[in-house]
Amino acid sequence: MELLSHKTILVAEDDDFMRRVLVTVLTRMGAWVVESANGQQALAVLNDRKIDIALLDVLMPEVNGLCVLHAIRAGMTNQPFATPAMLLTATRDEATVHYAAALSCNGFLLKPINQTDLASRLAKIIAQQMALPYAPPHYRKVDVGPPDQPPAMPSARASGLSVADLTVGMVCSGPITGMGRTIIPRGTELTAELLTLLRGLEKMAPIDPIYVSTAAGGA
């Protein structure tokens, strides 16, 4: 059975060998593959034709993969903003994970790409067709930094905060935890509803020191 029959997949990868490997594997799975060697070409593809899934290398010349993902989620391309997208990376550094969470990335593919893992991840995406938690205006506020530079962590407050210190619009630099459990995941922008939830929970059990950046995406 061809897993990706009639699916169009964008492969944005600046390494020629890695891109050829992905194209070969995906084609054997039945996909129609569109290639791009950098982020600028990827954006052109996203504005020119319908894509079902995007595979985006994090570190690409001109425009990096996170900036391409941001453009999709922010509704700045001709694709549905919820178009599934996975990031290709050799290492999942803290900054990449932070922004991937903030942009509702569908997952990571670690290089070198494992064919079995690739097929499993794509099958899951196709089967679930999950809705995103936010609309484009939320994602537009995420500042992923200069498009031609590697991602870097936003400035975060050096010491942990209490619930009373939090304000709407702050973004969790780490998960908010209490009693050994995660209450709110890293990358979440705090809303009035979440602050009300935290204040209520704090009355019942202690909440660990909280680490945030001062605005969505941080500066």
What CATH number is given to the structural domain containing 57? Answer: 3.40.50.2300
Which residue did the predictor score with more confidence, 212 or 55?
Answer: 55
Question: Domain check: are 122 and 78 in the same one?
Answer: yes
In the prediction, which pLDDT does 1 show? Answer: 45
Spatial CB neighbours of 179, under 8 Å, sequence gap ≥ 6: 205, 206
Residues 198/203/204/207 CA torsion (nearest 10 deg): 50
Question: Domain check: are 108 and 185 in the same one?
Answer: no
**Which of 140, 171, 195 is the endpoint of a domain?**
140
3, pLDDT greater than 90: no
Inside any domain, residue 122: yes
What proportion of the chain, given as a percentage, has pLDDT over 70? 93
Q: What is the CA radius of gyration of the chain?
A: 18
Question: Domain check: are 87 and 171 in the same one?
Answer: no
**Identity of the residue numbered 107:** G
Inside any domain, residue 20: yes
- pTM of the predicted model over 0.85: no
Question: Average pLDDT in the 126-149 region?
Answer: 85
Question: Average pLDDT in the 50-69 region?
Answer: 95
Number of independent structural domains in the chain: 2
32, pLDDT greater than 80: yes
The domain in which residue 123 lies consists of 8-140
In the prediction, which pLDDT does 55 show? Answer: 98
Which pLDDT tens digit goes with each residue over 74-103? 999 999 999 999 999 987 787 888 888 889
Which pLDDT tens digit goes with each residue over 6-15? 899 999 999 9
Question: Domain check: are 204 and 120 in the same one?
Answer: no
Which pLDDT tens digit goes with each residue over 171-213? 887 789 888 889 999 888 889 999 999 999 988 888 988 887 6
Question: Average pLDDT in the 54-65 region?
Answer: 94
Inside any domain, residue 130: yes
**Surface-to-core class of residue 153, CB atoms within 10 Å of its CB (0-12 exposed, 13-18 middle, 19+ buried):** middle
In the prediction, which pLDDT does 154 show? Answer: 60
Question: Average pLDDT in the 17-25 region?
Answer: 96
Position 157 confidence tier, pLDDT thresholds 50, 70, 90? very low
Question: Domain check: are 128 and 46 in the same one?
Answer: yes
Inside any domain, residue 152: no
Position 34 confidence tier, pLDDT thresholds 50, 70, 90? very high
Position 117 confidence tier, pLDDT thresholds 50, 70, 90? very high
In our burial notation (b when 16+ CB lie closer than 10 A, e otherwise), range 39-76 reads bbbbbebbeeeebbbbbbbbbbeebbbbbbbbbbbbbb
In the prediction, which pLDDT does 153 show? Answer: 66
